[in-house]
Amino acid sequence: MRIGIIAVGRLKAGPEKDLVSRYLDRFSKAGPASGLDFSRVTELNESRASNAATRKREEAVQIEKALPDNALVVALDERGKSWNSEEFAAFVGDHKDRGRRDMVLIIGGADGLDPELRDRADLTLNLGKMTWPHQVVRILLAEQLYRAVTILSGHPYHRS
């Protein structure tokens, strides 16, 4: 299964981008043995609309255009399920085993995701009750993708 990330906003050069790249590189190297391939990070422009609802709708249109056909969509949102790493890995592994071709994780803009896009997602997931900057969300997500591969392959990176 190919796994990609769609994110509203651009990650500038710096330690955050370096750390995301490090974890995604690890995922890219470890994933194929478990049947998981990293496709890419698609960065989309933030809307410049004057109100939050319009910004979210405009960003949702861009996200929907970037989604592969029939992709399993995981939206990151504060209203989502709060899973531990094993539960997330099991979700990824289950859908890989079911023959899903693509899974895409979506990180919305500063105002969050459009409600229609969030409701359309196969899974809405949160990364905790705290509010995280988008740069940190990318780091957390990249690390959890790598951790999921290590859990699925029985690698000792994850300690229970």
Residue 132 labeled ligand binder: yes
With residue 93 as reference, give the H or E element that holds it.
helix 85-97
Residue 128 labeled ligand binder: yes
With residue 120 as reference, give the H or E element that holds it.
helix 115-120
Burial (Cβ within 10 Å: 0-12, 13-18, ≥19) of residue 16: middle
Residue 83 labeled ligand binder: no
Three-state DSSP state, 131: coil
Tell me how far apart the alpha carbons of residues 5 and 28 are, in angstroms, rounded to a whole number: 13
Residue 131 labeled ligand binder: yes
Residue 124 labeled ligand binder: no
- Residue list, annotated binding site: 76, 108, 127-132
- Residue list, annotated binding site for S-adenosyl-L-methionine: 76, 108, 127-132
